[in-house]
Structure formats: C-alpha cells, structure tokens
Amino acid sequence: MKNKLKVAELFVSIQGEGLDIGLPCTFVRFNGCNLRCVWCDTPYTSLKPSPFEEYSADILLTKVLSQHTQGVCITGGEPLTQSKTELVKLTSALKKEDKFIDIQTNGVLYWPELASLVSRFSVSPKFPSSQINNLPSLKLESLKKYVNQHHDYQNVLLKFIIEGKNSIKDAFSIINAIPGITDYQVPVIFQPQIDLIACLNIEKQKLLIKQLVESEIFTATNRQKYQHLNFRIIPQIHKILWGDKKKV
C-alpha cells in the first residue's frame, strides 16, 4: 500500500560504522533506493526487487520497541524514499520514547520535518563514478541543508566511501564547495570501501584500511588537508566480524 513502510529487515546488532560504533541498535532496513551504486553492500534492498513487509508507523513502532535497544538505526536502501508521513510519524514516536535515532541517507533528499527529531543523520554522499548508468547521485543544495542543520542541531555527520585517490579528490571537492563543513565542524569520516568480495577476506580488509591510514595520515603533506576538519578514518567493524552475513 502507498502509505505503508516497506521493511526488508528488522534485527538487533551493534552499530558497525560511523561515530556510534558499538552501540546496540535495532536496525530497520527499508526496501528501495534512488541510486544504483556499483559496490552497494545491500543489493538485495537497493539494486533488485526483493521481499519486504509493509507496516504502518504504529505497527512498526511496536515491533521496534519490543527489541529493547536504546539505539534505532533507520537504513536501507534509502530511507527517504519511503512514505514521508509514516516515516516522520515513526521517528517522532521514537523520539518520545527517548531512543537514539540514526538515519542513514545518501543525502540526495532532505526533509526538514526530521531535523529536530533525529539524534544522528549519517549522510553518505555517493560520487557519480560509483553509479550504474551514470545516475545523478549528488545534490549539493541538499548537502548544504544538512550542513546548516548541523549548525542548529549538532546531529549530522558526513561519511565518504573511499575507493582510492579519485574518491578522496571527490570528497574534497564537496568539502571545499561547502564552507560550513569546516566552519560548523561537521564530523567527516573516510570509510574504506570494502565490497562483498573483500569483506570475506579479513587480511584484504586490513590491507585496505591500513593503506588508507598510511596514505592519508602518515604523510605530513596530506595531513595538512585535514587540520581544520573534524575528521576521522573509521572502517566497518561488522564486516570485519561477520563478513557479508545479513542481519548483523
């Protein structure tokens, strides 16, 4: 039905990425995405039709609260392709329950209705080079709205998926285009891109993380780029722990 939320997975684990690593969370993974990333690590919800259940906000709230976790991670797919009415209703109810709410989004869409309700917006801009069929994956005006929101609510981080030097250049093209990222000290995370093949090989994962740290942090010249940023390199620990297993 049009106004119901399409849920591909609902499970409990720890947050595996970003600033809240280790936080026990109920994960609500929605079905459907407005982008088509080549290295998507949840293709079963984003790149092809997949099974899902449809719930009203009220029913989904009951299911989430029954898991008894302080954190709730709303992810996908892309959460902001769901029914706005129902997602805002769900988020508002979770806030009243004093939950830590993390919405993970690619940043193409922006809903001001959520700004004061969410504890953390994990915004992960996707570069055009990552897209199948060259989909328009960046909307600078939306990213500026998230940055301005951080100034007001301190609840936004920017997470860039790094595949190599070109990804780093792309990330800095965004950072340089939006002065508020530096001015408002928006947290900026570089996350090594660990695909569905690399995540099965712990040694390869370690190598990718090590290479990114050494190339960006061990080199004094490169470190100058970050000196005014609220910057971190953070890998995905759930891939280190469980590889490509679902519902973890």
Query: How does pLDDT run across 141-182, given as a tens digit for each residue?
Result: 999 999 999 999 999 999 998 888 888 999 999 999 999 999
In CATH, the architecture of 5-242 is Alpha-Beta Barrel (3.20)
Which pLDDT does position 48 carry in this prediction? 73
Question: What percent of the chain is modeled with pLDDT above 90?
Answer: 65
Regions of the chain short of the pLDDT cut 50: none
Which pLDDT does position 237 carry in this prediction? 82
Residue 231 bridge partners (DSSP): 188
Q: Which residues contact residue 173 at a Cβ distance below 8 angstroms, ignoring those fewer than 6 apart?
A: none
Parallel, antiparallel, or unpaired: how do β-strands 5-14 and 100-105 relate? unpaired
Identify whether 77 is preceded by a cis peptide bond (ω within 30 of 0).
yes
Q: Domain residues of the chain, as ranges?
A: 5-242
Which pLDDT does position 117 carry in this prediction? 98
